[in-house]
A = this chain, B = another copy of it.
Amino acid sequence: MLGILRRKPEDKLIEILGKDKVLTSLVERKLYSYDATPIPIERAVPMAVVFPENHHDVEKLVEVCYQEDIAIFPRGAGSGLTGGAVPTVERGVVVSFERMNRFRVDLDNAVAYAEPGVVTAQLQEYVESLGLFYPPDPSSFKYSTIGGNIAENAGGPRCLKYGVTREYVLGLTAVIKEGKTVKTGGPVIKDVAGYDITRLLVGSEGTLGLITEAVLKLIPKPRARLTALAIFHNLEDVGHAVTKIFTSGVFPSALEFMDKNAIRAVEEFKPVGLPKDAEAVLLIEVDGTPQSVQEDIKLVKELLEGMKVKVETASTEEEAQKLWTARKNLGPALGNLKTGKINEDIVVPRSTLHQVIPKVREIAQKYQLMVAVFGHIGDGNLHVNFLYDKANREEEERAEQAVDEVFEMTLAFGGSITGEHGVGLTKRKFLKWQMGDVGYELLKSIKSVFDPKNLFNPGKMLEV
């Protein structure tokens, strides 16, 4: 049968899904080959971009891809920082979930059913209007999606008290190898039947299958919130303060740390009156009832002042907002100092903070870089930001080398290479160090169970 023109695989996708759900022009394909990763990574232009509109579309497209050996690169909002949504091979399609963005709330069971393309902030806003609460708050929450948040097991400041995305996923519908559908969990809090496939899919970075629906746990929305600022002249005191707060019975809803360089950057960008001579500040938020937040902040103030740490309480909503604005301005404030920034999200036991920060500064000095550290100190989750000049490739390389050393240091302190951003492409080589040989082999075997052809987001997380 020589001479017969073989149909292109993307034509099969068009035939099965319909023309309006498949983009094939070069411009469009190129547009979908990027995400928010700040450093250079390997990247391929996919053969097509596909827009499924429902679970059945996803089943069909995975079936075709599995028949035709086409790689599948799922994409939420593309706001990931480790290359998770970036295509790595040309024989691949980007699956964008932007049209699967419906959700509904079941008030009587306090759950939401959400498609992967739902924007997290939209869901949060709606459930809060009902008196309920969906806590996971990655800093991208205004545009990132539930699907992306689940794939990365996203977290944020509130996760100290409320837990990460994983804790809010009660059940999933997903499409795995050959287009098979698996359904786990349901609208119930407890379910111990069988191995925990739900949490295996959470944080799997799109490498095990495509999520088409999630059942999300909602909790009562706290009725009040209060913020205070603690000012430290000594890094060791920060850890002691956190221990004092924890053992006093106060469970802060956020404990945000900024080191002196982060403070200075914010004050140079848009001054809010942070103390520029401080070694570090801690933004302490408590939530609860109108009276309990007053009780809690009063207790925190007493405890910390007993350690000679100054505490300023935001007595109005406006003052609290100002403090949070400082925290939220950190990104642009650092961007204001240099054109390039690598924001890493290491996790270390919080008791080691006073050793980790000087070590990070040593590394920065070695590579002649500016560095600022901030993060969620209750979790030990630190954002180490190396700043460099984007036009200067040599300086950029130094920044990349500095990051490598930061990861080595993190593992030496018994920490993790990622608390929020995932492994993706950029941290692949470090995962092996962290997991050890036996653990890494387990990951690869689990991948084969769900995806024997290695077509789901190949090249991400694992070197397979």
Contact = CB atoms under 8 A, between A and B. Distances in A.
A440 B180 CA distance: 13
A260 interface: no
Interface stretch (A24-32, A197-205, A332-340): A197-205
B108 A239 contact: yes
A230 B352 CA distance: 48
B289 A416 contact: no
Interface in A180-198: 180-197
Q: Determine the interface band of chain A, counting residues with CB < 8 A from chain B.
A: 35 or more
A420 B421 CA distance: 32
B192 A200 contact: no
A193 B291 contact: no
A239 B436 CA distance: 48
A52 interface: no
A439 to B, nearest CB: 5
How many copies of the polypeptide does the oligomer hold?
2
Secondary structure type dominating chain A contacts: mixed
A194 B434 contact: yes
Contact of A132 (B246, B439, B442, B447): B246
User: By CB atoms of chain B within 10 A, which of A167, A288, A381, A450 has the most?
Assistant: A288
A250 interface: yes
Contacts of A153: 192, 196
A245 to B, nearest CB: 8
Contacts of A418: 191-193
A273 interface: no
A239 B242 CA distance: 39
A304 B347 CA distance: 45
B461 A194 contact: yes
